[in-house]
């Protein structure tokens, strides 16, 4: 447990000396930055969301009854603030950069960078990857987050469940549903079985 962050829950934050307030904020920042950036993929937006979630944490700090659950409580608050930000500000644009998501697709051709592979096959594979990234962008934010945690960051179901404060079963179910949605789109658009 961080030594300064606990002050957010045990004292009046605004009554702390400015140097202590800064330490509390820095510890909060370092705790939630990876989680928020993981979802948003934009440094500026991540910093804005951290500030919003920190202010919410100050307002809601009295709700935390067990200090042992402090980090999980903070991460849940930051995640919810992030998802609210996405819903509020991203209705008319892609919420995540499509370039961050790559899936290995079972395909009869080799890697698109194989110099011996015909150019048309390489182009087809690149187009398929772009389509998959597009399909991923169309998924719900919580589905995309779980897919990235599992496939990009190679987190276990247990680690994902702990980070998102949910059960492994819920993680597996969402991951299955997300894969099925992408698979269905691939089948419809590319004729893959």
Answer with the one of 41, 72, 89 that is the final residue of a domain: 89
- Whether 117 and 80 map to the same domain: the answer is no
Q: Give per-residue pLDDT as tens, 64-117.
A: 778 888 888 898 889 888 888 887 765 434 434 333 444 444 433 334 445 556
Q: Any alpha helices (H) in the chain, and if so which ranges?
A: 7-10, 18-40, 43-60, 70-89, 119-138, 141-147, 157-164, 168-190
157 domain-assigned? yes
pLDDT at 51 (0 to 100): 92
CATH number, domain with residue 16: 1.10.1740
pLDDT at 193 (0 to 100): 56
- Whether 106 and 184 map to the same domain: the answer is yes
95 neighbors 134 (Cβ within 8 angstroms): no
Can you give the pTM of this predicted structure? 0.48
The tens place of each residue's pLDDT in the chain, 193 residues long, gives 467 888 878 888 888 899 988 998 999 999 899 888 888 888 888 899 999 999 999 898 888 778 888 888 898 889 888 888 887 765 434 434 333 444 444 433 334 445 556 666 666 677 777 778 788 888 888 888 888 888 777 788 898 999 889 999 999 999 889 888 888 888 877 766 5
* Total number of domains in the chain: 2
Question: Quick check: helix, strand or coil at residue 62?
Answer: helix
Q: How far apart are CA 20 and CA 14, in angstroms?
A: 10
Answer with the one of 57, 89, 121 that is the final residue of a domain: 89
pLDDT at 56 (0 to 100): 92
34 domain-assigned? yes
- Whether 41 and 85 map to the same domain: the answer is yes
- Count CA within 13 A, CB hemisphere, residue 141: 22
pLDDT at 52 (0 to 100): 92
Tokens of 28: 């909060």
Domain of residue 41, residue span: 7-89
pLDDT at 102 (0 to 100): 41
- Whether 48 and 107 map to the same domain: the answer is no
- Whether 65 and 107 map to the same domain: the answer is no
């Amino acid at each position: 447990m961080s030594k300064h962050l606990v002050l957010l829950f045990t004292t009046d934050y605004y009554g702390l000396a400015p140097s202590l307030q800064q330490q509390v904020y820095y510890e909060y920042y370092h705790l939630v930055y990876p989680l928020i950036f993981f979802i948003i993929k934009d440094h500026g937006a991540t910093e804005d969301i951290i500030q919003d979630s920190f202010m919410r944490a100050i307002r809601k700090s009295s709700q935390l009854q067990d200090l042992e659950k402090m980090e999980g409580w903070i991460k849940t608050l930051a995640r919810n603030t992030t998802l609210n930000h996405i819903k509020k500000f991203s209705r008319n644009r892609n919420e995540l950069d499509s370039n961050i998501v790559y899936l290995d697709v079972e395909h009869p051709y080799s890697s698109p960078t194989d110099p011996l592979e015909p150019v048309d096959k390489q182009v087809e594979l690149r187009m398929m990857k772009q389509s998959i990234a597009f399909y991923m962008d169309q998924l719900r934010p919580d589905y995309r987050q779980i897919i990235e945690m599992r496939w990009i960051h190679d987190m276990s179901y247990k680690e994902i469940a702990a980070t998102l404060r949910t059960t492994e079963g819920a993680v597996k179910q969402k991951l299955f549903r997300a894969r099925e949605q992408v698979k269905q789109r691939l089948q419809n658009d590319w004729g893959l079985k």
